[in-house]
Amino acid sequence: MSPKWIAVIGCTVIVLLLLGFATFLIAMPSINERALRAKSKDNLRTLLTLAMSERDGAPALDLPTLHGRSWILALVATGRLDSRNATHLVCLFSTTQDGEIDPAEYQALTLERLQTERFPHLTGYAGPGEREPGWKGARPLIGDLTFEDGAIIGFSDGTVRWVERDELGLGDDDPIQAGPASKSPLLRMLSDE
């Protein structure tokens, strides 16, 4: 083989390697995003399982007077989620959120306090709000609304799934938010208060 052909093949291999590396770098954010979503889904599934299961003879978490974040924090107040272990408390936050967890703050939670006080800094997830009139199917109970292109929702039938922005009924410029101000019927049934 002539030196000219060796140079051509060498340049071709280098170009292909560079293209492959560039493709990898472009795909990297989506790989990271999928990993964040998967971990957040696991967090929501854990919280939903704790809320829906019987524990020490107590029925599933049925607290109709608690909504939103207070309902989620009731998992700590009732002992379903160990307030002494910061490693366990991490599941109260989306994988997109950073912050320090002080177990002492969680140990002070009681159902009585959750009835009258709000603790928005103790969980990053939205909890159940008011049911949408005419809604049929599983009710959304918990949600991670921190992603730009959709939300992760946990439902009363025990499923947790990623819901794209268009499935939520939202346009590109509509905020992903819980409560009555949301344009999404699904998200209106969640509360981040």
DSSP H or E stretch at residue 20: helix 3-52
β-strand partners of 142:
154
Locate the domains of the chain by residue range. Answer: 38-191
Q: pLDDT tens for residues 59-118?
A: 566 667 788 999 999 999 988 899 998 888 999 998 888 777 899 999 999 999 999 999
111 to 60, 65, 77: CA distances (angstroms): 15, 10, 6
pLDDT, average across residues 23-29:
50
